[in-house]
Structure 1
Amino acid sequence: MSGADDIEAIMDANRRFISQLQMETEERRQRESEEGKELREAFARAEAEAEAKAQAEAEAREAIARSIAARKANENVAPIDDEDEESAYYRRKSWLI
């Protein structure tokens, strides 16, 4: 074997090694791309769930506020007219008979 054949053999081995490294790198990029896609989808699902939960909580707070307002509105009942006997009975200043 001559020096040129040795150099040629080394270059072939180097090409095979570089080709193998490129394939491994491409496979790794593909896997990372798939994992990244899965992570983005999981993040999007988590955001949607958090938004739905926040909206449900806001609706619950609004319903509670409406309920409280309705109860407060029903606490004070105005008499129908000033000459109502029952109204006069309950509005008297002294309860001592």
Structure 2
Amino acid sequence: MKALMTSLALLALAAPAPIALADDEYGLRGGGGTGGVTISREEAVRIARAEGMTRVKEIERDDGKWELEGCTRNGREIEIDIHGRTGAVLDLEIDEDDDC
């Protein structure tokens, strides 16, 4: 029995350690894949609309975040980055020119 316990202990020490994935800059494990993104495209659009985007021109998922480009009610171009897991607004830029 003692030999069995010793063998099991040695086997446990020799087993490879699990690989840890580092968080990316947005706190999402595994980088830019879809694994970290949990909010839907529709939810990202809802969040962008709450921030003043009235028309969505472009939307894509990149590096664990949603990136939206569109227009405000008064015709200004707006860009919003939304955290893919939490839905937090990471960046919001409104162009001062009437580009839309």
Larger Rg: 1
**TM-score normalised per structure 2:** 0.26
Which of the two has greater strand per residue? 2
Could you state the TM-score of these two structures normalised by the residue count of structure 1? 0.27
